[in-house]
Amino acid sequence: MVKCADGPATNVEVHIDAPASVVWPLLCDINLPGRFSEEFQRAEWLDDGPALGATFRGYNRHPVVGEWSVVCTVTAMEHERVFEWTVGDVDFKAARWRFDLEPDVHGSTLRFSAEMGPAPSGLTPAIERMPDREDAIVARRLGEWTANMQRTVDGIRELAEAEAHEA
């Protein structure tokens, strides 16, 4: 049985016909995923970002849960390679999201990954009401995440390839 506390994860990957130097600024634009995701709406830096340790507030909307916001911290940042943020307490995260960018001879490979838990999150009330269904609740949520992540990397690919071909 998959439990939220076990850190279930998902990832998507796409090849982009553009160099990392074109893709990288898109990854660091914390509002960009809001153009593609059905859940994430927007974000605002709470201090000077993007930078390692910087914080931002993300705003989300889900048809079942409603609207909410979370504070995130940039927990890994390597120029043109890695941009990662953690939701909630860095040492006891509700979730972790990460872009990995790998240059290759034909452009770049972009991987977007996410991991749940172990801290409580928006899933916690549903799991507490139906503990025998935790596996199905987590699987459904991972499916929603994966679909939004795929839309995001596809959108980033389209923007980066258009920019690279204009140059």
Instruction: Tell me the pTM.
Output: 0.93
CA dihedral (49, 42, 5, 3) positive or negative: negative
Decide the pairing of beta strands 82-89 and 55-62.
unpaired
d(CA 53, CA 65): 29
Q: Residue range 90-98: average pLDDT?
A: 94
Q: Is the dihedral of CA 27, 99, 71, 151 positive or negative?
A: positive
Number of Cβ within 10 Å of residue 78's Cβ equals 11
pLDDT digits (tens, 9 = 90+) for 20-73: 999 999 999 999 999 999 999 999 999 988 999 999 999 999 998 889 999 999
What is the average pLDDT across 126-146? Answer: 82
Q: How many CB atoms lie within 10 A of CB 116?
A: 25
Burial 138-161 (b: 16+ CB within 10 A, else e): beebbeebeebbbbbbebbbebbb
> What are the structure tokens assigned to 159, written together?
């923007």
Res 113: pLDDT:
98
What pLDDT, in 10s, does the model give residues 97-126? 999 999 998 999 999 999 998 876 776 677
Domains and CATH numbers, the chain: 4-166 (3.30.530.20)
Highest mean pLDDT among 64-68, 89-93, 127-131: 89-93
Q: What was the pLDDT predicted at 58?
A: 96
pLDDT confidence tier of residue 159, bands split at 50, 70 and 90 = very high
What is residue 54's predicted lDDT score, i.e. its pLDDT? Answer: 98
Collapse the DSSP code of 158 into the 3-class scheme (helix H, G, I; strand E, B; otherwise coil) and give the result: helix
Q: What would you report as the CA-atom Rg of the chain, rounded to the nearest whole angstrom?
A: 16
Higher pLDDT, 141 or 101: 101
pLDDT number for residue 95 = 94
Q: For position 162, what pLDDT does the model report?
A: 96
- pLDDT (0 to 100) of residue 124: 67
Q: Name the burial class of residue 47, with classes exposed (0-12), middle (13-18) and buried (19+) by CB atoms within 10 angstroms of its CB.
A: exposed
